[in-house]
């Protein structure tokens, strides 16, 4: 399998949903206990890269979320970043 730059670049191209599916497959394979040691090490490295990719995609999505700011009458006045509403 290998964990070189080819794996990292292929993971970077994945959508969140694709990466999550691959991560679930890696976890299932590791939990099965059927993978030889070398494959398990490669799977663990790939799983860690997939987890980091999924977390980065979630962080990016969260940064784009905006909350509507309303005045006292409930009328929208504008938007503010998600982080300001959940600090």
Its pTM stands at 0.69
| Least confident residue range of 15-19, 26-30, 44-48, 69-73 | 69-73
Stretch 6-27: mean pLDDT: 92
Looking at the predicted structure, is the pLDDT value of residue 31 above 60?
A: yes
Rounded distance between C-alpha atoms, residue 49 and residue 59, angstroms: 15
What percentage of the chain has pLDDT greater than the value 90? 55
| pLDDT (0 to 100) of residue 62 | 78
Rounded distance between C-alpha atoms, residue 73 and residue 79, angstroms: 16
């Amino acid at each position: 399998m290998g964990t070189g730059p080819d794996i990292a670049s292929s993971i970077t191209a994945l959508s969140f949903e694709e990466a999550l599916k691959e991560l679930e497959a890696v976890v299932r394979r590791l939990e099965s206990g059927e993978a030889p040691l070398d494959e398990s090490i490669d799977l663990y490295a790939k799983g860690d890269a997939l987890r980091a990719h999924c977390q980065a995609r979630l962080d990016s999505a969260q940064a784009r979320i905006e909350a509507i700011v309303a005045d006292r009458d409930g009328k929208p006045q504008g938007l503010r970043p998600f982080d300001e509403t959940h600090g």
